[in-house]
A and B are shown apart, each in its own frame.
Chain A
């Protein structure tokens, strides 16, 4: 589950060594925008050593690499290739580039004798990336797609607002493409780290469109994102009642049934199952709230 993915600057030892304490589902160790051109070598070696020294199973470790046009991609991959690396986060993704990245990764995996393939989470952050979203979603290695709102709005030469109406179309396209391909849809970070209310509304909008998670640029955003993506207690209660009623209906060989005066059929039961799944409810029990 990738509900919360936290960006960590790749050349910052203090942040790297404490990054696991915040409770993010995954860490995106950043070699791209967070690192000055003169420090790319230091950052990729530091992140490589960090990955190789990592002993824990969680959180998931991902690295945002520099893209092919930068000329740094292969050096990045050489430095970070190890079994602890789950996936690379690939910036300004397009279909043709991702085929080439897949080829390079295959060579790296063979050379380093990795026990599992390195996944890719492309960042959709250009107009071209948005129109290619459907094709990208079915490429090999994909674990999800991440929307990059800042670069996308810059590419479109439009403003980025607190409400995010300008992202409605790319969000919808990405969410549908990811759902169809069975991969995670991860929403763009919310830029104002002090605006908790704005972040909550933004994350709820993403969730309502079908996103499965959201990236964060500061640890203090994680709890708000988790809150937005966690099903509402009222919805969990409703879903449990639906599931209980569905079991009774199945015993009576009923395909559809009524609950609180409303018809419940297969799509509604499926929605109830999804709510309980996202809430982590198993065997009818509601787990303890977690941070």
Chain B
């Protein structure tokens, strides 16, 4: 199974792990989950849509990443997954 990850667990970053799956599943563990869960999920799903990904499971360990960081880490993780053997 192909897996990719990107980012760190440092403040203002997010560690994003993706793997091939059926449909889109997004799991979020965030220090700001109570306030931004829906926004984080929308940002992740938006990036997957831009990359035309329909079958991928995403795990987000968020340490307060802003939108641009989330988008970048998701895209990097997907590209790494696609490049993995």
Asked whether any CB of chain B lies closer than 8 Å to the CB of A50, the reply is yes
Assess A41 versus B71: contact at CB under 8 Å? Given A13-B66, A14-B12, A17-B12.
no
Minimum Cβ distance to chain B for residue A47 (Å): 8
Q: What residues on A are CB-neighbors of B79 within 8 Å?
A: 41, 45
Instruction: Say whether, besides A41-B79, A42-B7, A49 and B12 are in contact (CB < 8 Å).
Output: no
Residue of B nearest to A15 (CB): B12
- Provide the residues of chain B in CB contact with A41, threshold 8 Å: 76, 79-80
How many A-B contacts at CB < 8 Å in the complex?
44
Contacts of B69 in A (CB 8 A): 13, 16-17, 46, 49
Q: Give the distance in Å from the alpha carbon of A192 to the alpha carbon of B69 in the complex.
A: 30
Complex contacts, A42 vs chain B, CB 8 Å: 6-7, 72-73, 76
Cross-chain contact A14 with B72 (CB below 8 angstroms): no
A39 to chain B, nearest CB (A): 9
Residues of chain A within 8 A (CB-CB) of B66 are 13, 17, 53
Q: Which of A16, A46, A48, A50 has the most CB of B within 10 A?
A: A46
Q: Which residues of B lie under 8 Å from residue A16 when comparing CB positions?
A: 69
Given contacts A17-B66, A53-B68, contact A45 B12 (CB under 8 A): no
Which residues in window 171-221 of A have CB below 8 A to B?
none
CB distance from B30 to the nearest CB of A (A): 14
Contacts of A13 in B (CB 8 A): 10, 12-13, 65-66, 69
Mark each residue of chain A from 25 to 60: 1 if its CB lies under 8 Å from any CB of chain B, else 0.
000000000000000011001101110110000000
Report Cα–Cα, A95/B69, bound state, in Å: 36
**A53: B residues at CB distance < 8 A:** 66-68
Instruction: Let me know if A46 and B72 touch, CB within 8 A.
Output: yes
Residues of B within 8 A of A50 (CB): 68, 72
Tell whether, in the assembled complex, residue A45 and residue B11 are in contact, meaning their CB atoms are under 8 Å apart. no
- Chain A CB within 8 A of B75 CB: yes
Least CB distance from B61 to A in Å reads 14
CB distance from A79 to the nearest CB of B (A): 9
CA distance A48 to B75 in the complex (A): 11
Q: Would you give the shortest CB distance from A256 to chain B, in whole angstroms?
A: 58
Residues of A within 8 A of B73 (CB): 42, 46
Asked if A14 contacts B13 (CB within 8 A), the reply is yes
- Residue in chain B with minimal CB distance to A17: B66
Select from chain A the residue with minimum beta-carbon distance to B66.
A17
Contact A45 B76 (CB under 8 A): yes
How many Å lie between the Cα of A14 and that of B68 in the bound state? 12
Closest residue on chain B to residue A14 by CB atoms: B12
Complex: chain B residue closest to A42, CB-CB: B76
Q: Which of A13, A14, A42, A48 has the most CB of B within 10 A?
A: A13
Report whether B13 and A49 are in contact in the complex, using a CB–CB cutoff of 8 Å.
no
B80 cross-chain contacts in A, Cβ below 8 A:
41
Tell me the complex Cα distance, A52–B68, Å: 8
Question: Interface of A with B (CB < 8 Å)?
Answer: 13-14, 16-17, 41-42, 45-46, 48-50, 52-53
9 interchain pairs (CB within 8 A)?
A13-B10, A13-B12, A13-B66, A42-B73, A46-B69, A46-B73, A48-B72, A49-B68, A49-B75
Q: Which 6 A-B pairs have the closest CB atoms?
A: A14-B12, A46-B72, A49-B68, A53-B68, A13-B69, A49-B72
A13-B13, A16-B69, A41-B80 known; 13 new pairs, CB 8 Å cut-off, are A13-B66, A13-B69, A14-B10, A14-B12, A14-B13, A17-B66, A41-B76, A42-B6, A46-B73, A49-B71, A50-B68, A53-B66, A53-B67
